[in-house]
């Protein structure tokens, strides 16, 4: 069952990321990126997986060994993966909107979005750096 949910979660993020990266000017992309609905769906899935993950195994977050033990359980691993998918989507949608708002080149923003999809924080920091270099907007401004 866990493998099925993993495959569904992975496959279901692809259309949104493809829109953000490959069709940045499409009306559908604008509508999708303007609402928190897509990440909210993943957040609800996360909440639904939370109880089984917390009650289904050993391990804890107090030590690296405890975390390793927790992630040996499929439920905890799937929970963590959905967490990544959700938060990476939030960051990616923000970067998309921010890039559009500032008129940044999509030749720069697109790779940052791909980096966020594949490497999360590395794509985020690349976007923040590119935004600073291209527009002068400070890292948090």
pLDDT for res 1: 62
Predicted TM-score of the model (pTM): 0.90
Asked if residue 90 has pLDDT above 70, the reply is yes
Q: How far apart are CA 62 and CA 53, in angstroms?
A: 16
Q: How far apart are CA 115 and CA 92, in angstroms?
A: 9
- Helix 106-119 vs helix 74-102: crossing angle, to nearest 10: 170
Rg of the chain (C-alpha set) = 17
pLDDT digits (tens, 9 = 90+) for 23-63: 999 999 999 999 999 999 999 999 998 887 777 667 777 88
């Amino acid at each position: 069952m866990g493998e099925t949910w993993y495959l569904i979660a992975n496959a279901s993020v692809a259309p949104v990321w493809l829109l953000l990266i490959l069709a940045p000017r499409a009306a559908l992309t604008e509508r999708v990126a303007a609402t928190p609905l897509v990440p909210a769906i993943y957040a609800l899935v996360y909440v639904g997986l939370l109880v089984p993950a917390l009650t289904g195994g050993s391990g804890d977050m107090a030590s690296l060994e405890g975390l390793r033990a927790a992630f040996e359980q499929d439920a905890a691993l799937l929970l963590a993966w959905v967490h990544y998918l959700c938060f990476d989507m939030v960051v990616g949608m923000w970067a998309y909107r921010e890039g559009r708002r500032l008129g940044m080149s999509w030749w720069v923003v697109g790779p940052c979005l791909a980096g966020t999809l594949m490497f999360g924080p590395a794509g985020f920091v690349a976007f923040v750096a590119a935004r600073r270099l291209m527009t002068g907007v400070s890292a948090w401004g």
